[in-house]
Structure 1
């Protein structure tokens, strides 16, 4: 099956490739990035990263039946972060990360908006969820900007910290997103 490549004004969203490992290690090796993610250890574990990256590469063999589907985010030809849809055969959840040099420039809102637009226009899903640690205002802001609504608080594992931390669970319906997305496009 042909992999999906999405383009925005500034970004290319693409399937991962094994050659991404070194860049993932560089960006995810930053504790300030890793501590806001549930599954990323610190220091970054190269073998664990290789296994995770290969699983993501393999999921693209047939994305329509994949449980998880990961994308890398490129800006000006360089990988700057990534995101993944988890539980694609249930209620999908999106998780996302961005290398620290790229924070505060609107890249993640742009990438996640395009990804969710693709999900809703190419699947029958009516809902997408996400969770963000309460101490991660940037991720919460991305979700809120795209129209996610808080549905509760949860405990989120943090492998890099070796503990659980409070997080907010949010959901976004197809209808709310597509209505809001179309109006955001009109304003651009």
Structure 2
């Protein structure tokens, strides 16, 4: 399977590209965005971002053996955020972020719906996990809306904060998700 592009009514989800670096730096240069993420430093590190994008491109060359796969989210031809699946060789975990000026428009629910549908239709995974910091009510609402159920409280490392933060682990099965929760 090669890289794919997913289209929704308002969005396109596509594989990351090296040319996305400047836009990633712009959107992830906002502490209000990165403080809710586990692996992104603040301030944004351009060299680390460049390396991450290069690895992201490479992973799409062999989807079956990839440990992670990501989509960048475009709206009206401009990147507004990203969705990723990590630990694909185990129980995959979804993670996502959206530039702050795009919050509150339903974009992430729309994008996560498309990405999770793709995952369950194109892989053998029967379970998908998600984790969101307890204080991140927007992210928790997205997961709940799409049928994820809370299973445990966990600690989530936050590189930007330099500490761990209380989070909720959620899960959804293939059957629950594809049958409309």
1:39 and 1:51 map into 2 onto residues whose CA distance is: 14
**After superposition, where does 1:1-188 map in structure 2 within 5 Å?**
1-180=1-180
1:91 and 1:16 map into 2 onto residues whose CA distance is: 22
> 1:2: how far off?
2.6
2:96 and 2:175 map into 1 onto residues whose CA distance is: 22
> 1:55: how far off?
1.1
TM-score (norm 1): 0.94
Unaligned runs of 5+ in 1: 182-188
1:91 and 1:113 map into 2 onto residues whose CA distance is: 18
Partner SS state of residue 88, structure 2: coil
CA contact (8 A) 2:2 2:63 kept: no
CA contact (8 A) 2:39 2:158 kept: yes
Partner SS state of residue 164, structure 2: strand
2:7 and 2:159 map into 1 onto residues whose CA distance is: 32
TM-score (norm 2): 0.98
Moved over 2 A (4+): none
2:67 and 2:20 map into 1 onto residues whose CA distance is: 21
After superposition, the CA RMSD in angstroms is 0.9
Partner SS state of residue 90, structure 1: coil
- Residue 184 of structure 1 is matched in structure 2 by none
> 1:13: how far off?
0.3
Partner SS state of residue 56, structure 2: helix
Unaligned runs of 5+ in 2: none
Q: Deviations over 1:16-65 (max 9, x none)?
A: 00000000000001000010000111111111111111111110111121
